[in-house]
Amino acid sequence: MSQPSVKGLITLKRNYMKQKSFFIYFVVFIFIIQAILVSVAAAATRIMPLGDSITKGSNSGATPDDEDHFVAYRKALWDKLIAAGYDVGFVGSQTAGGAVSDFDPNHEGHGGWTADEIVNGNGITEEGKLGEWLADYQPDIVLLHIGTNGLSPNPNDVETILNVIDSYSPDTWVVLALIVNRACCIEEPQCPTDCQDTSDFNDNVYDMALDRSGDKIKIVDMEIGAGIDYHFSPTGDMFDGGNGGYHPYETGYAKMATEWFSALQEILPDPDPDPDPDPPNNSSSSDSGCFIGIITE
């Protein structure tokens, strides 16, 4: 049996190297395609629910004293978005409602925090501050409900939040809430000063936002436009926790979800025309006479 010539060996080696190079290029090509597909799949619109315990969902869910069931307005809103075919994800450093199925529990709701603490941190816990959260989670849309704690008619701290978001990215939308008022506007013991301060705060936040020409802001009226009944449940929409009635009950949160959803429909890319035919059940809510102010073209 004859042995291959030196020339033949060189030819075989060249063919082998060509095949090896082709294989390497093929593997690299497949890797690039997979990376592109993963990037496209991860392109869901990132929504950051931002605020205090009303965003976190204190006293909400099937077990109102269990943080794993705190869903606030977020679960009802999530159900509406998914049922409508929107490709979204909630983002934030916090999770609450993790025991609830078919739900993205991420958020940036910090119980007891003021608007100033959202910007600067609270100096006690290591939960961070707004600039860090924006850099880490890169939201496309922020749902902002803040002002219940440290209540004052002055909107300056909310304006600072908007400035921080604008510095992070002028392309980030803010859905800005005129905040929920308190059950003690109606229920005993009444709190006429806090009740009026909340309304004044909302008026001032609205005027401040209108002056921010060119910002991507939508205003949602949670105080009045959402149709929240400030009586305690079961006759009204507020949770009777013995603390002045700061937190909505499940029905109140559902009305908030309707307001957020109406605003988001004006911002989000068109939904999937063929959404999941069997989505999670939407939380029930009544029509709320949604009020949206668009502070941009």
Residue 76: CATH number of its domain: 3.40.50.1110
- Among 27-41, 60-74, 111-125, name the one with the lowest average pLDDT: 27-41
- Clarify whether residues 28 and 63 are in a common domain: no
pTM: 0.79
Given a cut of 70, whether residue 3 has pLDDT beyond it is no
Domain identity same for 118 and 9: no
Q: Which two tokens stand for residue 70?
A: 């705190």
Q: Are residues 17 and 115 in the same domain?
A: no
Q: What is the pLDDT of residue 284?
A: 33
Same domain, 55 and 86: yes
In the predicted model, is pLDDT for residue 43 greater than 90?
A: no
The pLDDT assigned to 243 comes to 67
Q: Which of 237, 245, 227 is nearest to 183 (CA)?
A: 245
Q: How far apart are CA 186 and CA 3, in angstroms?
A: 102
Does residue 31 share a domain with residue 54? no
Say if CB 237 and CB 246 are below 8 A apart.
no
Query: Are both 111 and 159 inside the same structural domain?
Result: yes
Residue count of the chain, please give it: 297
CA dihedral 289, 72, 82, 220 (to 10 degrees): 30
Give me the helices (H) in the chain, please: 6-41, 53-56, 74-83, 115-120, 130-137, 156-168, 192-210, 250-265
Peptide bond into 248 cis (omega under 30): no
Task: State the pairing for strand pair 292-294/217-221.
Answer: antiparallel
CA angle, 125 then 122 then 152, to 5°? 145
- Same-domain status, 20 and 121: no
The radius of gyration computed from the CA coordinates of the chain, to the nearest angstrom, equals 25
Confidence category of residue 14, pLDDT binned at 50, 70, 90: low
Choice among 214-218, 239-243, 244-248 with the minimum mean pLDDT: 239-243
Domain that holds residue 23: 1-43
Query: How high is the pLDDT of residue 276?
Result: 58
**Whether residue 136 has pLDDT greater than 70:** yes
**Residue 165 and residue 57 share a domain:** yes
State whether 245 and 163 are in the same domain: yes
Q: Backbone phi, then psi, for 264, in 5-degree steps?
A: -65, -30
Confirm if 157 and 114 have CB atoms less than 8 A apart. Answer: yes
The reply to whether 49 and 22 lie within a common domain is: no
Whether 94 and 223 map to the same domain: the answer is: yes
Tokens found for residue 166: 């604008």
Strand partners, 176: 144, 219
Both 235 and 288 in a single domain?
A: yes
Q: Which residues share a beta bridge with 95?
A: 106
**How large is the average pLDDT for residues 245-260?**
95
pLDDT over 70 for what percent of the chain? 74
Examine the pLDDT at 135 and tell me if it is beyond 90.
yes
CB atoms under 10 Å from CB of 68, counted, come to 15
Q: Determine the 3-state secondary structure of 48 from DSSP.
A: strand
Domain count, the chain: 2
User: pLDDT band for position 22 (50/70/90)?
Assistant: low
- Mean pLDDT over 258-278 rounds to 86
Element housing 177 (H / E): strand 173-178
158-169: per-residue pLDDT in tens?
999 999 999 999
pLDDT at 63: 60
The more confident residue out of 61 and 198 is 198
